[in-house]
Amino acid sequence: MATEATTTPDLRVLALQCLVEPDPAAKVLAVAAMAEAMGAGDVALDVHVALQPDAPVPGRPERPELVPPRLVGRRAMTTLEGRAMLIHALAHIEFNAVNLALDALWRFPGLPPAYYTDWLRVATEEATHFSLLAAHLQVLGYRYGDFPAHDSLWEMVGKTCGDPLARMALVPRTLEARGLDAIPPLRAKLAQAGDLDAAKILDIILRDEVGHVEIGNRWYCYLCQQRGLEPVATYAELAVRYAAPALRGPFNLEARRQAGFTEAELQALS
């Protein structure tokens, strides 16, 4: 009796399918299923094929409304709504970070297999962060989408779609690295306001984000080496070319050190 042939799904194709999914809960489940299937050996990886999405990316829900950063609103820790606004803003960052990792996974062909499994790990952890924050937001009486949000992170993702070197330089090791600096004072504010559950979630996020920035640093240095480029000078040139935001302190130098920034880079920040 003849059996119907089955085709093993490809990791990068699955990542693109996850990326275009607009519903946050469905996206989180799809990322988890993709990671589980990859771990079980039920997913193939073709690093050479150039994929083209059939739909605009990324998939997003109708809400939150996207506005300029100055219109997002103040987040006073003295009120429940203010704390909810902060948690919402963090959840939005993590939702964008899921999409960022999925985009890094599917978009750039021809890199070593470890590059794609690294970004699968990032997508999985970012999805966990989003789920934790979205659940805590509901404990506070709100849902993801209840407040406006801005799109600054994804704007740089869009600018760097043509070059993985620029993507690694300016998204994980620039914009995401700012989270290493910002999380400790936000955690302190939430703890001072009595929201210890939120503070514990930020502890998890900071721990994982060190690894995510390290992945960006590692693949940035790999690509510089492949192209015969000096990393520090190349970064400065890319920051100007793509109009990256200026870096302002205070900086979490120890977390940045753990994430793979060199002492010369840290000294330059100081």
Asked if residue 69 belongs to a domain, the reply is no
Asked if residue 83 belongs to a domain, the reply is yes
pLDDT at residue 2 above 50? no
What pairs with residue 188 in β-bridges? none
pLDDT at residue 99 above 50? yes
Asked if residue 158 belongs to a domain, the reply is yes
Asked if residue 16 belongs to a domain, the reply is no
* pLDDT of res. 118: 98
Structural domain tally of the chain? 1
CATH number at residue 122: 1.20.1260.10
Asked if residue 4 belongs to a domain, the reply is no
CB atoms within 10 A of CB 107: 22
Asked if residue 215 belongs to a domain, the reply is yes
Distance separating alpha carbons of residues 203 and 209, to the nearest angstrom: 10
Range of the domain at 147: 76-269
Per-residue pLDDT reduced to its tens digit, 187-242: 999 999 999 999 999 999 999 999 999 999 999 999 999 999 999 999 999 999 99
Q: Which residue has the tokens 């089955």?
A: 6
pTM recorded for the entire structure:
0.94
* pLDDT of res. 3: 44
pLDDT bucket at 6, cuts 50 / 70 / 90: low
C-alpha torsion sign, points 211, 174, 102, 135: positive
| Lookup: tokens for 74 | 């103040």
Asked if 172 contacts 235 with a C-beta cutoff of 8 angstroms, the reply is no
